[in-house]
Amino acid sequence: MSPSEGELEEINAGFRGAHPRDIIRFACERFGDALAVSSSFGAESACLLSLAVSVRPDIPVIFIDTGFLFPETLAFRDELKRRLKLNILEVGPAMGHAEFLARHGRLYETDPDRCCEINKVEPLKRALKGLRCWISGVRADQTAYRGAMRYLERKGEDFFKVSPLLSWGAREVVRHIRDEGLPMHPLWERGYTSIGCEPCTSVPGDPSDPRSGRWKGKNKTECGIHTFLDKK
């Protein structure tokens, strides 16, 4: 049964200070098999993934291969898949990458929102169809938009988003990864603290803002996968 608005408030209040594993456990108990976790296999993705499989080893992991990812990201995906025995559900844009480039060229330069819509948001929408819950690794300290998020949010009539890492910072995340004996993304050692598609990712210019290397020089901080449900 869907939680009422009052119950949502109570649940979110109860999650304050809870360990992310307990929040994932709640989601698995509440939503059964109708849930999935998403991962970009970015800098710190091993954290959420290791927590998720510790609760449900075969939890589906939605991974969007945009066609623009670093080869290191694909290698990192393969390594984590092997080490954590991940059940990866890989999705991609409806249009093949070569056709996309032929038709749109460097759309990521001229209209990055449209590029993200085609290559990230639309594939995610397809992957979420039929589910009741999406677990994501966003953190409140990453962007102003994320700072206003809650652990459990209604995003449709009977669709919910759960963000177990919301109150963790980079320090807790990295500590958890180290404690689990898992790797960071290979580019992390080279200064990439937030990693997405290759054309839109660089080493952050502002060390105090780990995401400042994303869409550098553009008025864009979100690709759209965490905001599209708000626009519905």
* 108 lies in the site for ligand SF4, by CB under 6 A: yes
Query: 176, 200, 201: which is closest to 188 by C-alpha?
Result: 201
Report residue 205 CA to chain centroid gap.
Answer: 23
Q: Which amino acid is at 152?
A: L
Four-CA torsion 181, 187, 191, 195, nearest 10 degrees:
-100
Query: 64, 39, 77: which is closest to 116 by C-alpha?
Result: 64
Rank residues 44 and 122 by Cβ distance to ligand SF4 and give the closer one. Answer: 122
Q: Which residues contact 9 (CB under 8 A, 6 or more apart)?
A: none
Rank residues 112 and 164 by Cβ distance to ligand SF4 and give the closer one. Answer: 112
Site track 52-71 with ligand SF4 (rule: CB under 6 A), x = hit = --------------x-x---
Q: Could you give the CA distance from residue 163 to residue 161 in angstroms, rounded to a whole number?
A: 7
Q: Is 223 a catalytic residue?
A: yes
Least Å distance, CB 201 to ligand SF4, is 8
Rank residues 85 and 114 by Cβ distance to ligand SF4 and give the closer one. Answer: 114
* 124 lies in the site for ligand SF4, by CB under 6 A: no
Among 140, 197, 225, 229, binds ligand SF4 (CB under 6 A): 197
**Other CB atoms closer than 10 Å to residue 167's CB: what's the count?**
17
* 226 lies in the site for ligand SF4, by CB under 6 A: no
Q: Are 70 and 35 in contact (CB under 8 A)?
A: no
* 168 lies in the site for ligand SF4, by CB under 6 A: no
Query: 160, 135, 110: which is closest to 8 by C-alpha?
Result: 160
Among 223, 225, 228, 229, binds ligand SF4 (CB under 6 A): 223
* 199 lies in the site for ligand SF4, by CB under 6 A: yes
**Other CB atoms closer than 10 Å to residue 94's CB: what's the count?**
12
Rank residues 60 and 112 by Cβ distance to ligand SF4 and give the closer one. Answer: 112
| Selected range binding ligand SF4 among 29-37, 143-151, 184-192, 195-203, rule: CB under 6 A | 195-203
Contacting residues toward ligand SF4, per CB under 6 A: 66, 68, 108, 112, 115-116, 119-120, 196-197, 199-200, 223
Catalytic residues: 223
